[in-house]
Amino acid sequence: MSEIKNLLVVDDEEDITLSIINYIKKHIPELKTLAAFDGNKALQIIKSTKVDILVTDIRMPGASGIDLILELKKINPEAKAIVITAFGSELIKKKSEHAGALHYVEKPFRLSHLCTLIKKIIEEEEEGFKGNVSQLQLVDVLQMLCINKRTMVVEVKNREKIGRIYILNGEIIHCRCETKEGKEACFEILSWKNGEFNLFPLNQPSEIKRTISDSWMSLFMEGMKEIDEVKVNTKYNTSQKRAKIREIITSIFQKIDGLETNIIFSIEKEKAIFNGDIDETEYPDGRIKDYSSLLKKFNEAVLKNENEGLDEVVVISESSLLIFMKISQNLVWFVKIRGIDKFGMARVVLEKSRKKLIDELKELA
């Protein structure tokens, strides 16, 4: 261990605190151990002494364990925290994780288990981490750092380009790559297929401007979709793009139970272009007529309100909702939702998918 680290153990049950301290002194003698029997005393220690590792109970006189973790992270973002509690619950576990706790241990526990967790923290900090993007997926590395609530800078080099990803308490807060910042820079870095990366401590997180507010999981999912869509747009021929459009449409109906009808109409010709996996040549003319009057009314409403940018009309019936969404000048997406209670979820998914369809149809033009 390159420098002596301070371990603070906090619990209002003195026998537990002293047992932990004595065990750690015996098995990790290179650590300097500190003890507090209430939250307020622990706060004083945190403010006056550099605490590297905190082991704390949740409920005790004075400041709570959550308060201690939050205060510690403000003073020393690189510090690690382990929660021990006799009042275990999913709510307390989530609160601990959100505050920045690295591990969560319910009482009663074995002292050897707690000691192993502390040793693991020390070893990870001393070893550091670096590697090649071709050998290890960058997303896997970032996911590992986020899950473990790390505070780091990940520097990625790809030929002449250098990108940096800033992680604070397990959340990606900022990315930079040449002139790009935020999510755009993050997606650029994630798209690199080779290069090398290094991890560095984020020493002054308060000086880093936050350009990303999405959770790391949402960010990775969106990033992978962005990369996949770029591949699709650059490699697909016309028939493959048509298949891609059907794939998007079909996937929507798998996400939401209660969507019945799915048709893209050509306003000019009053015919269906797509309906799931059914090609336009296979679509029965009889069913088109069932919706032709509604389609005409939608077209009239769009033309009448063209200056107001109207591109969606919802028709409410007794047991369902009919949604007409404009995709292009001449194409309308018609969807029937069985059950009004499903409208909110369906509306969000449909709008996101509509944007994808617009992009795909532009490629077909």
CATH number where 35 lies: 3.40.50.2300
Confidence (pLDDT) at 235: 46
Looking at the structure, tell me whether residues 13 and 69 fall in a common domain: yes
Among the listed ranges 252-256, 312-316, 319-323, which one has the minimum average pLDDT value? 252-256
Residue 240 belongs to a domain: yes
Does the pLDDT at position 131 exceed 60?
no
Looking at the structure, tell me whether residues 327 and 356 fall in a common domain: yes
Confidence (pLDDT) at 261: 61
Residues 6+ apart with CB under 8 A from 70: 99, 100
Written as one letter, the residue type at 286 is G
Residue 144 belongs to a domain: yes
Confidence (pLDDT) at 300: 72
Looking at the structure, tell me whether residues 121 and 134 fall in a common domain: no
Looking at the structure, tell me whether residues 120 and 201 fall in a common domain: no
Q: Give 351's pLDDT tier (boundaries 50, 70, 90).
A: confident
Among the listed ranges 53-67, 181-195, 196-210, which one has the minimum average pLDDT value? 196-210
Confidence (pLDDT) at 89: 78
Work out the average pLDDT over 109-125: 85
Looking at the structure, tell me whether residues 166 and 205 fall in a common domain: yes
Residue 154 belongs to a domain: yes
- Average pLDDT for the chain: 77
Q: Which of residues 101, 126, 151 is at a domain's end?
A: 126
Looking at the structure, tell me whether residues 179 and 61 fall in a common domain: no
Q: Which of residues 211, 230, 249 is at a domain's end?
A: 230
Domain that holds residue 277: 236-364
Looking at the structure, tell me whether residues 98 and 116 fall in a common domain: yes
Residue 56 belongs to a domain: yes
Number of domains in the chain: 3
Looking at the structure, tell me whether residues 152 and 112 fall in a common domain: no
Among the listed ranges 70-79, 93-102, 222-231, which one has the minimum average pLDDT value? 222-231
Looking at the structure, tell me whether residues 171 and 287 fall in a common domain: no
**Highest mean predicted confidence (pLDDT) among 16-25, 99-108, 302-311, 355-364:** 16-25
Q: Are 97 and 148 in contact (CB under 8 A)?
A: no
Q: Give 281's pLDDT tier (boundaries 50, 70, 90).
A: very low
Confidence (pLDDT) at 68: 93
Residues 6+ apart with CB under 8 A from 314: 321, 322, 323, 324
Better pLDDT: 119 or 139: 119
Residue 1 belongs to a domain: no
Residue found under tokens 């925290």? 81
Q: Give the global pTM.
A: 0.41
DSSP conformational letter for 269: T
Among the listed ranges 20-29, 223-232, 255-264, 282-291, which one has the minimum average pLDDT value? 282-291
Residues of the chain with pLDDT > 70: what percent? 70
Domain harbouring 249, CATH code? 3.30.450.30
Q: Which of residues 69, 100, 126 is at a domain's end?
A: 126
Looking at the structure, tell me whether residues 242 and 348 fall in a common domain: yes
Q: Give 5's pLDDT tier (boundaries 50, 70, 90).
A: confident
Better pLDDT: 48 or 338: 48
Better pLDDT: 325 or 244: 325
- Cα dist from 324 to 50, 85, 158, 347, 352, whole Å: 61, 54, 46, 11, 15
Residue 353 belongs to a domain: yes
Better pLDDT: 342 or 29: 29
Among the listed ranges 159-168, 299-308, 326-335, which one has the minimum average pLDDT value? 299-308
Looking at the structure, tell me whether residues 164 and 205 fall in a common domain: yes
Tallying the residues shown for the chain, one arrives at: 365
Looking at the structure, tell me whether residues 117 and 51 fall in a common domain: yes
Does the pLDDT at position 333 exceed 70?
yes
Written as one letter, the residue type at 107 is K
Q: Are 256 and 345 in contact (CB under 8 A)?
A: yes
Residue 174 belongs to a domain: yes
Q: What are phi and psi of 243, to 5 degrees?
A: -65, -35
Work out the average pLDDT over 298-326: 73
First-to-last alpha carbon distance for the chain, in angstroms, is 64
Residue 115 belongs to a domain: yes
